Amino acid sequence: VELRTLEVTVKQLERQKAEAGRRLADLDEQIRQLESAALAQAKKAEEAQTRLNQLVEDTQKDAAHAETDQQEIAQLKAELAQLEVERLTLSSQLTNEQKGMEAAVDKLTDIERKRQRDEAQRVQLHDAIAQAETVVNDLETVLKSSDPSTSLSSKLNLLEDISRKELDLGSSTAGKAPPPRPAPPKSSARQTPVNGDPFANTCRDANECFWNQGHNHNTEQARIFHAELEFAFIIY
């Protein structure tokens, strides 16, 4: 369920990333249009200033048309002032669009980082499931073995492997994992007879007694052991 949730989250983040990319492209286009409009207004203002200068020069040369020229000069000054207001408005809009573009870039960056984190968690979950399936398959193989005394050490190693993986998973999810089972002492340290039962000595703890009963092919204990392994896999 967690894996499916992460996959859905990754897809949603990818869609958000695409939408943010389209929004960023739209903002870039709007900025280009505003810059073009600002340049056009600046060009008009420059032309108006040129005309104004020309009129001033003409007025000085022709006093007879001074009054008419003064009226046109006043009109051009008013037009120039209006163009300046429009230029300032466009500059303000350009600044706002640039801020919007920066905010969109920041949001896109956050979305990409979250998508990468969720993707990494999804990969880790895949790996954990694969490892758990491998451990369970190995344990089932050991249970089906025809020589339990030979595979005893393998069983213990697999149980220790499960315990280690439970601890690793617990530390990564901020939870608590149960401690690993203590392994029984090695049979070589007991000095048992060659033809005797290597598990005939008195067991030192419940875990060792459990394995001694498994060696004697106790069907009920084998069933309990298999159920316990399934429970350990569910916890993992």
- Walk me through the domains of the chain, giving residue ranges and CATH numbers: 2-129 (1.10.287), 146-235 (no CATH)
Residue 118: phi and psi, rounded to 5, are -65, -35
Residues of the chain with pLDDT under 50: 152, 166-167, 169-170, 172-222, 233, 235-236
What is the CB neighbour count within 10 angstroms for residue 89? 12
Mean pLDDT of the chain: 70
| Nearest-angstrom CA–CA distance, 120 and 7 | 11
Name residues whose C-beta falls within 8 Å of residue 232's C-beta, 6 or more positions apart in sequence.
162, 166
**Is-contact 9 3, C-beta < 8 A?**
no
| Nearest-angstrom CA–CA distance, 181 and 178 | 9
Percent of the chain with pLDDT over 70: 58
Helix extents (H) in the chain? 2-61, 66-143, 148-172, 206-215, 219-235
According to DSSP, residue 218 is labeled: -
Terminal C-alpha separation, the chain = 14
76-112 pLDDT, tens digit each: 899 989 999 998 998 898 899 889 889 988 998 999 9
